[in-house]
Chains A and B, each alone.
Chain A
């Protein structure tokens, strides 16, 4: 297979970036998308050029490192698929493929296709945990949780923190990301105790990081490689407003 690649190149955070075009020949349909980029990089290095920098580690869709904006979609054309799980057989021979980093004020570019997602970290620092010390856990089965709820909790917890939801959203909203964590804990007894404080703090941090608001286009759910449901955003909003109501009552 042959492709024309248009790739965003940017030397560092302060440099001005631009698209560069690279024709690439003899790509095997069996190659994964990132293997295709490795293949390009080998050729670039052989020609004395700098390889394209992109983030990756597990290469099996679970660590959330990779994340490229491919032909106008986060993680490319396949649904429920991370960039590293894409294969070249999913593209058309002769196609032009445009590859960009995530675009969001809260995710500044570090180099080429790598962005700084530390804003996501800070949202978690704000409240993405249950306050429990090592050694004071009760026996596991002392808190039964019905299978149906447990399965739903799992669905929320499946987020890999890649940032595709933000990249997909025209407002660069991080609602789905925050909501998944908030919902995971709000649905179980362990997390319920501090659910109100948690939602308050995490939403505040999200705003402070410069993420946008949610205007219900569902693009995030559509492009989430783990198919996290926007129902969790509704659940988060309920938690958020009841937390506000609760505060006003106490004021």
Chain B
């Protein structure tokens, strides 16, 4: 059985990272050339890590499933990226950013990791600026910032509503620079299907070439997963359609412990479902809540056009319930409040499953141009999708699956429980506790990739300078490849009638209904049962046209869906054991009289880390106790 060791260094919080870093072993430049590193994923985390490692002189191989690294889903982030620059003189600091993240995460994250993420945030912004990322500026030429949910300072750097795109393209440019130098080799259009473990260490991956269908073996001295989030478990989500859990899941099956799988953020402001064929929900950035006011009609079932509903007939329920933070309460709070109003019958639109986000007051006060400057592209996007002009009438929004706080368990070095296997960015669990604050993921991903991992990984690789190339013709690679080939064969052989998307949609509905914004024991158990049934059906009736030796998108989808059944079950299992409400995890059984989340710190101040025991067996739960020395655990009040 695995024993968790978080390896959090001793010493005062603010000095942990700098002291620890000094003690880490290095690999000298001549030896770096003898060391191979695999990075899977080219989002902010993966592309950042690959380029930083390439710069240091390692041989890096980097993989993504898209045709270009520039298309990783980081590209879709809209609102911004946090840093503790204190450019506004609003008394911001590294400590305050740390504190906001701890509180925002409802005290279920590690102090040391969160502090470090805050600490490197300023370097991240400087590096992006130096690479030419066009952050918004004010007239004097210095960088502009804006506010985001859950905080009272203005520390979010942005590039219109396309911050993720601009940060990713910056990171992509640094990757290209290393590709040109020959330190990094890029393998696009590859699905990573398994990790190869040799004598207890991660030594390679098995990938499928998505154009030819060939299985490939790649070896290295260490493997870094930066494969993003698995919010697509809900089918409808704000993620890209190719986003998946499979890469992380293959690591889980090989012994990497998976932490807090049920902590998934449901984002409050997505465009609601408009038709039954929809497979994707589009986010409207949280930044809109800076100027938009959220409301529903005061009268149940009031179906009047929103512009005809007078001020006094509107219920600005966030401002009413949370006067201190108003429309800028954190995401989990805003999502549940929307669901509460809609479930109670006050929702807007034909389905009653949406609330209004209204810019009328902001436009009256600041003028249409000011609003256009800030959110122009988001407004356009909204109009393209819905056919409604949000300058003229309020947007309709509803919560959607968005971000996975849970992920592969890592220690302070960002290493999983498999030696030599690292997880960075959204694919790990480490910095956001039970709820992520807006604009802190881009910050964490880039911090992990550019500034943290390159330091910690050298300490591990220092033992590998004499190892030499890892051969791919050894049994561990053969076995792993055979397992993958057998699984593909099995899925191709079913010859059923139902498509992968259809199964995915049914699976997503189970997850949304039983392991979504509100959960209870009975529902979670029911969810698990339904998942088992659906999985059985899948293996009897999945239909995949064509062959596996060619570009086959149906096969790609089916392989991802096949993993989601297990992911979903573990999410339910995790949500069931956590007999408290915290952050995005809300258990009906555990709420205050006013319907707010009720934590139980005495019993549940731990990270739930699950160890795989086989496809049907119950996984083992490990508990990493969380210690809080620098923040005081309080009821998270935004009133």
Which residues of chain B from 121 to 175 have any CB-CB distance to chain A below 8 Å in the complex?
123, 125-127, 129-132, 134-143, 159-160, 162, 164-166, 169, 172-174
Distance in Å: Cβ of A165 to nearest Cβ of chain B: 16
Asked whether A140 is an interface residue with its Cβ less than 8 Å from the other chain, the reply is: yes
Contact with B134, one of A46, A48, A51, A154 (Cβ below 8 angstroms): A154
A185 (CB) vs chain B CBs: closest residue: B132
On whether the beta carbons of B129 and A137 are closer than 8 Å, the reply is yes
Interface bits A137-172 vs B (CB < 8 Å: 1, else 0) = 111110111110010011001101100000000000
On whether the beta carbons of B142 and A144 are closer than 8 Å, the reply is yes
A116 (CB) vs chain B CBs: closest residue: B67
Contact with B125, one of A140, A160, A188 (Cβ below 8 angstroms): A140
Contact with A42, one of B164, B499, B551 (Cβ below 8 angstroms): B499
Interface bits B30-57 vs A (CB < 8 Å: 1, else 0) = 0000000000000000000001100100
Interface bits A109-133 vs B (CB < 8 Å: 1, else 0) = 0110010111011001111111111
Q: How many residues of chain B have a CB within 8 Å of chain A?
A: 79
Asked whether A28 is an interface residue with its Cβ less than 8 Å from the other chain, the reply is: yes
On whether the beta carbons of A57 and B129 are closer than 8 Å, the reply is no
Distance in Å: Cβ of B288 to nearest Cβ of chain A: 15
Which residues of chain B from 230 to 249 have any CB-CB distance to chain A below 8 Å in the complex?
240-242
- Contact residues in A for B136 (Cβ distance below 8 Å): 150, 154
Q: How far is the CA of A170 from the CA of B628 in the complex (A)?
A: 64
Asked whether A87 is an interface residue with its Cβ less than 8 Å from the other chain, the reply is: yes
On whether the beta carbons of A38 and B132 are closer than 8 Å, the reply is no
Q: How far is the CA of A174 from the CA of B384 in the complex (A)?
A: 27
Contact with B55, one of A60, A64, A116, A134 (Cβ below 8 angstroms): A134
Query: Most chain-B CB neighbours within 10 Å: which of A38, A63, A190?
Result: A63
On whether the beta carbons of B550 and A87 are closer than 8 Å, the reply is no
Given contacts A35-B278, A51-B553, contact A141 B142 (CB under 8 A): yes
On whether the beta carbons of B162 and A38 are closer than 8 Å, the reply is no
Query: Most chain-B CB neighbours within 10 Å: which of A50, A111, A147?
Result: A147
Asked whether A222 is an interface residue with its Cβ less than 8 Å from the other chain, the reply is: no
Asked whether A58 is an interface residue with its Cβ less than 8 Å from the other chain, the reply is: yes
Asked whether A81 is an interface residue with its Cβ less than 8 Å from the other chain, the reply is: yes
Distance in Å: Cβ of A239 to nearest Cβ of chain B: 15
Asked whether A235 is an interface residue with its Cβ less than 8 Å from the other chain, the reply is: no
Distance in Å: Cβ of B562 to nearest Cβ of chain A: 17
Distance in Å: Cβ of B160 to nearest Cβ of chain A: 7
On whether the beta carbons of B70 and A64 are closer than 8 Å, the reply is yes
Which residues of chain A from 190 to 237 have any CB-CB distance to chain B below 8 Å in the complex?
190-191
Given contacts A121-B68, A150-B136, A190-B130, contact A60 B76 (CB under 8 A): yes
- Contact residues in B for A80 (Cβ distance below 8 Å): 380
Q: How far is the CA of A35 from the CA of B67 in the complex (A)?
A: 21
Asked whether B71 is an interface residue with its Cβ less than 8 Å from the other chain, the reply is: yes
Interface bits B1-37 vs A (CB < 8 Å: 1, else 0) = 0000000000000000000000000000000000000
Contact with A63, one of B71, B173, B381, B546 (Cβ below 8 angstroms): B71
Contact with A134, one of B52, B142, B553 (Cβ below 8 angstroms): B52
Q: How far is the CA of A50 from the CA of B55 in the complex (A)?
A: 44
Which of the segments B176-184, B250-258, B311-319, B324-332 contacts the partner chain?
B176-184
Distance in Å: Cβ of B48 to nearest Cβ of chain A: 8
On whether the beta carbons of B125 and A129 are closer than 8 Å, the reply is no
Q: How far is the CA of A117 from the CA of B85 in the complex (A)?
A: 39
On whether the beta carbons of A125 and B180 are closer than 8 Å, the reply is yes
On whether the beta carbons of A45 and B543 are closer than 8 Å, the reply is yes
On whether the beta carbons of B68 and A154 are closer than 8 Å, the reply is no
On whether the beta carbons of A184 and B134 are closer than 8 Å, the reply is yes
Given contacts A63-B66, A130-B131, A161-B68, contact A28 B275 (CB under 8 A): yes
On whether the beta carbons of B162 and A129 are closer than 8 Å, the reply is no
Contact with A57, one of B142, B165, B240, B499 (Cβ below 8 angstroms): B240
Given contacts A125-B179, A145-B137, contact A154 B159 (CB under 8 A): yes
Interface bits B461-481 vs A (CB < 8 Å: 1, else 0) = 000000000000000000000
Distance in Å: Cβ of A44 to nearest Cβ of chain B: 8
- Contact residues in B for A30 (Cβ distance below 8 Å): 274-275
Judged by DSSP, the binding face of A is: loop
- Contact residues in A for B553 (Cβ distance below 8 Å): 51, 53
- Contact residues in A for B371 (Cβ distance below 8 Å): none
Distance in Å: Cβ of B498 to nearest Cβ of chain A: 9
Given contacts A58-B73, A87-B384, A191-B132, contact A137 B126 (CB under 8 A): yes
Asked whether A89 is an interface residue with its Cβ less than 8 Å from the other chain, the reply is: yes
On whether the beta carbons of B141 and A12 are closer than 8 Å, the reply is no
- Contact residues in A for B134 (Cβ distance below 8 Å): 150, 153-154, 157, 184, 188
Distance in Å: Cβ of B119 to nearest Cβ of chain A: 14
- Contact residues in B for A85 (Cβ distance below 8 Å): 381, 384-385
On whether the beta carbons of A147 and B141 are closer than 8 Å, the reply is yes
**Interface residue tally on A, bucketed by range:** 35 or more
Asked whether A55 is an interface residue with its Cβ less than 8 Å from the other chain, the reply is: yes
- Contact residues in B for A132 (Cβ distance below 8 Å): 127, 130-131, 174
A85 (CB) vs chain B CBs: closest residue: B384
- Contact residues in B for A141 (Cβ distance below 8 Å): 87, 142-143
On whether the beta carbons of A45 and B499 are closer than 8 Å, the reply is yes
On whether the beta carbons of B241 and A128 are closer than 8 Å, the reply is no
On whether the beta carbons of A146 and B139 are closer than 8 Å, the reply is yes
Asked whether B416 is an interface residue with its Cβ less than 8 Å from the other chain, the reply is: no
- Contact residues in A for B75 (Cβ distance below 8 Å): 58, 62-64
On whether the beta carbons of B68 and A38 are closer than 8 Å, the reply is no
Asked whether A65 is an interface residue with its Cβ less than 8 Å from the other chain, the reply is: yes
Interface bits B98-129 vs A (CB < 8 Å: 1, else 0) = 00000000000000000000000001011101
- Contact residues in B for A39 (Cβ distance below 8 Å): 277
- Contact residues in B for A150 (Cβ distance below 8 Å): 134-137, 141
- Contact residues in A for B551 (Cβ distance below 8 Å): 12, 53, 110-111, 114
- Contact residues in A for B282 (Cβ distance below 8 Å): 59-60
On whether the beta carbons of B384 and A63 are closer than 8 Å, the reply is no
- Contact residues in A for B384 (Cβ distance below 8 Å): 61, 78, 81, 85, 87
Contact with A146, one of B137, B174, B179 (Cβ below 8 angstroms): B137
Given contacts A63-B76, A87-B385, A129-B173, contact A143 B180 (CB under 8 A): no
Asked whether A31 is an interface residue with its Cβ less than 8 Å from the other chain, the reply is: yes
Asked whether A56 is an interface residue with its Cβ less than 8 Å from the other chain, the reply is: yes
Distance in Å: Cβ of B89 to nearest Cβ of chain A: 13
Asked whether B344 is an interface residue with its Cβ less than 8 Å from the other chain, the reply is: no
Distance in Å: Cβ of B257 to nearest Cβ of chain A: 29
- Contact residues in B for A124 (Cβ distance below 8 Å): 172-173, 176
Which residues of chain A from 57 to 94 have any CB-CB distance to chain B below 8 Å in the complex?
57-65, 78, 80-81, 85, 87, 89
Q: How far is the CA of A139 from the CA of B125 in the complex (A)?
A: 9
On whether the beta carbons of A161 and B381 are closer than 8 Å, the reply is no
Contact with A117, one of B67, B241, B381, B451 (Cβ below 8 angstroms): B67
Q: How far is the CA of A134 from the CA of B51 in the complex (A)?
A: 9
Asked whether A49 is an interface residue with its Cβ less than 8 Å from the other chain, the reply is: yes
Asked whether B563 is an interface residue with its Cβ less than 8 Å from the other chain, the reply is: no
On whether the beta carbons of A64 and B71 are closer than 8 Å, the reply is yes
A112 (CB) vs chain B CBs: closest residue: B551
Q: How far is the CA of A153 from the CA of B180 in the complex (A)?
A: 24
Which residues of chain B from 358 to 385 have any CB-CB distance to chain A below 8 Å in the complex?
380-381, 384-385
Apart from the given pairs A129-B180, A190-B130, 17 other A-B contacts in the complex at a CB distance below 8 Å: A11-B550, A51-B545, A55-B67, A57-B73, A87-B384, A111-B551, A117-B68, A118-B67, A129-B174, A132-B174, A134-B51, A137-B123, A147-B137, A150-B134, A161-B71, A184-B132, A188-B132
User: Which are the 9 A-B pairs with shortest beta-carbon distances?
Assistant: A144-B141, A137-B130, A129-B173, A137-B126, A30-B275, A57-B240, A129-B177, A140-B129, A63-B71
Q: List 17 A-B contacts (CB under 8 A).
A: A31-B277, A35-B278, A45-B543, A45-B554, A51-B545, A57-B71, A57-B240, A58-B240, A65-B66, A121-B176, A121-B186, A124-B173, A125-B176, A134-B450, A135-B123, A143-B129, A150-B134
